[in-house]
Amino acid sequence: MSQIGTQTRNGDAFHSSDRDGFLHRAFLRGSGRSEQSVRARPVIGIANSWSELNPCNAGLRQLAEAVKRGITRAGGLALEFPTISLSEPFVRPTTLYLRNLMAMDVEEMITASPLDGVVLLGGCDKTVPAQLMGAASAGKPAIALAAGPRATGRWNGEPQTIDDLWPLADKRRNGEIDDVRWARLEGCLIPGVGTCNVLGTAVTMALLAETLGMALPGTSLLPATSAARAAAAEATGRRAVELARSGRAPDQFITPEALENAFRVLCAVGGSTNAVIHLEAIAGRLGHRLGLDAMTEWSRTTPVLADVRPSGPHLLEDLQDAGALPAVLDRLGHLVHTDALAGTGEPWSAVLERHREQDGRTESPALRPAAEPVFESGALALLRGTLAPDGAVFKRSGAEPGLWRHRGRAVVFDGPADLHARIDDPDLDVDADSVLVLRGVGPLGGPGMPEVGQLPIPRKLLDKGVTDMVRISDARMSGTATGAVVLHVAPESAAGGPLGLVADGDVIVLDAMTGRLDLEVEAAELARRTPAAVPAAPERGYAALYHRHITQSPEGCDFDFLVAARSAREGEQS
Ligand code: FES
């Protein structure tokens, strides 16, 4: 599980009287540090995913300076280092494809460097889970701080957030938005640095890191460029010093109880479906597993409390005003394991008690009381059935309730190229009751499960006013997107899953209330069909490593050799 005791180094390296210690001190003094400062303990690394290739994380350079202030004032030595950074809009084939590479980078740098602890500075979607996975495996004290959400923009006099892009893109497709307005939108859709300003994957993962005790309470939603976030960065630096002195590693925070809390928060805020994969991957690094059955039960018993974009009408800053994550946990009441640890090292019960005593929290429709939820339960439906023997995910809170139960005939697309070639064909045999199926876009087939699961509505249906229909794939979907979209179908078609056998006209039955996804085709008929082809194995480099070792979505799409030993996982739900 942890590499401590095998290869891990720590700040002792700067204190030994032998030649090695001399060299460590001498090289650090070469960077302009005093004799006293190179002997400060603990030594805290700052794993910074700042990159000009990742605009969402552009604020991390300033935040790192504030973290260093906190570390130095608490008596530690701060040493910042860069890691890979993964930008959703820039990286191809997908950021999930490279998430495990980033996790390996983070783990190996923490392990190999003379550090007593680490601050993880992430932001854009995959950077947060990659850092948590790497730090969990490295086994040194660690605390995270996310970049924070960017400001809300304005376009045509209205508040504009990133999720507005999807309906606007549809309007652009059918000619409702001309070139001039489209160009103006490009200039104001992203009004500043920071992560996407809705409950997409980045903000969801920041909230889950906070729930897991891997970030300071109340920090996830602070605006990216606010003084409050800079102050939180300084406090995070101070906390990293405390953590390193205490020796408490991530396995003391990321417990089964904390993972359940995190999943319930995901449901209560109607967060990103991507988080289901990332939570399993983080859990797997420490020998835990959430499992489809437990997640189904937790989702069923957790009310949806946040009514925030992309699933609801309110803004992220409204959720911040309503008390942010502590208020969500507080409203979940007995559903939360309050003995799990917060990022301060206290049990959540102590943090929530303080939260209750604070004045000035406004009641906001962005966060409902548990007695008046947005939905009674089931933000995320975990599905199983003949079309998804190992599971699939459906975000009920983002879909029209009329489509939670649906029966329709399949219209099948083999990969994104086939989809884009035919989806707007006027002769496509499709109506509003059809079920659009996209395959060949899973962890192996994509590769990297591209976020193409929200298939576009065929133009001829858009023109008739159709805004949602059932779509099914082995892909993922952007956390900023919504719709009646079944995702993460496992096993994927490229791994022999039944999705690869679906033919045009087959009847598919979705029941997101009972958690079923079935293909109504006789087994004998399916046996006559040709399974989807397995993609050829790449011969070299990361592509070859990925192809050989990537696991399916129920295992978190981690590499099989990075997941904790099987023996540590026995006895847990599958
Ligand atoms: Fe980076 Fe959304 S694209 S956080």
The closest-lying atom of ligand 1 relative to the alpha carbon of residue 162 is 2
| Residues linked to residue 393 through DSSP beta bridges, in sequence order | 382, 487
Predicted local distance difference test score (pLDDT) of residue 158: 86
Mutate to test the pocket of ligand 1, among 96, 196, 199, 204 (most ligand atoms within 8 A of CB): 196
CA of 476 to the centre of ligand 1 (A): 15
Task: Please check whether residue 532 is in contact with residue 494, taking contact to mean a CB–CB distance below 8 angstroms.
Answer: yes
The closest-lying atom of ligand 1 relative to the alpha carbon of residue 200 is 2
Average pLDDT across each block of 10 residues of the chain; the chain has 574 residues. List them in order.
Answer: 55 93 96 95 98 98 98 98 97 97 98 97 98 98 98 88 87 88 90 94 98 98 98 98 97 98 97 97 97 96 95 93 96 97 98 84 84 92 97 92 97 97 97 98 97 94 93 94 95 97 98 97 96 92 98 98 67 43
| Residues linked to residue 314 through DSSP beta bridges, in sequence order | 308
Predicted local distance difference test score (pLDDT) of residue 359: 56
CA of 304 to the centre of ligand 1 (A): 24
Of 79, 83, 85, the closest CA to residue 58 belongs to 85
- Count the Cβ atoms, other than its own, within 10 Å of residue 369: 10
Measured distance CA(297)–CA(554) in Å, rounded? 16
The whole model's pTM is what? 0.95
Pairing of strands 153-155, 507-511: unpaired
Instruction: For residue 430, give both structure tokens.
Output: 């499709």
Predicted local distance difference test score (pLDDT) of residue 573: 44
The closest-lying atom of ligand 1 relative to the alpha carbon of residue 480 is 2
Maximum Cα–Cα distance across the chain = 79
Predicted local distance difference test score (pLDDT) of residue 362: 62
Mutate to test the pocket of ligand 1, among 52, 124, 278, 478 (most ligand atoms within 8 A of CB): 124
Predicted local distance difference test score (pLDDT) of residue 572: 47
Task: Please check whether residue 108 is in contact with residue 222, taking contact to mean a CB–CB distance below 8 angstroms.
Answer: no
Measured distance CA(266)–CA(123) in Å, rounded? 17
Q: Whose CA is nearest to atom 3 of ligand 1?
A: 88
Which residues have any ligand 1 atom within 6 Å of their CB?
56, 88-89, 124-125, 195-196, 200, 202
Predicted local distance difference test score (pLDDT) of residue 1: 40
Predicted local distance difference test score (pLDDT) of residue 561: 96
DSSP 248-269: --GGGTS-HHHHHHHHHHHHHH
CA of 444 to the centre of ligand 1 (A): 23
CA of 146 to the centre of ligand 1 (A): 12
The closest-lying atom of ligand 1 relative to the alpha carbon of residue 479 is 2
Question: Hey, is 234 helix, strand or coil?
Answer: helix
Q: Is 1 exposed, middle or buried (0-12, 13-18, 19+ CB in 10 A)?
A: middle
CA of 195 to the centre of ligand 1 (A): 5
Predicted local distance difference test score (pLDDT) of residue 480: 83
Q: Whose CA is nearest to atom 1 of ligand 1?
A: 124
Question: Burial letters for 112-130: b for 16+ Cβ neighbours within 10 Å, e otherwise?
Answer: ebbbbbbbbbbbbbbbbbb
Measured distance CA(18)–CA(9) in Å, rounded? 16
Of 253, 215, 255, the closest CA to residue 235 belongs to 215
CA of 478 to the centre of ligand 1 (A): 9
**What domains, with CATH codes, occur in the chain?**
40-151+192-357 (no CATH), 154-188 (no CATH), 383-535 (3.50.30.80)
Predicted local distance difference test score (pLDDT) of residue 6: 46
Measured distance CA(258)–CA(278) in Å, rounded? 14
The closest-lying atom of ligand 1 relative to the alpha carbon of residue 195 is 4
The closest-lying atom of ligand 1 relative to the alpha carbon of residue 203 is 4
Of 495, 478, 513, the closest CA to residue 555 belongs to 495
Q: How many helices (H) and strands (E) does the chain have?
A: 20, 14
Angle between helices 95-112 and 127-138 (to 10 degrees): 30
Measured distance CA(528)–CA(501) in Å, rounded? 9
Of 231, 397, 380, the closest CA to residue 312 belongs to 397
Mutate to test the pocket of ligand 1, among 53, 88, 274 (most ligand atoms within 8 A of CB): 88
Taking the alpha carbons at both ends of the chain, their separation in whole angstroms is 20
The closest-lying atom of ligand 1 relative to the alpha carbon of residue 125 is 4
The H or E element that residue 117 is part of is strand 117-122
Instruction: For residue 249, give both structure tokens.
Output: 């590693």
Helices of type H across 333-464: 348-357, 415-422, 459-462
Measured distance CA(191)–CA(88) in Å, rounded? 17
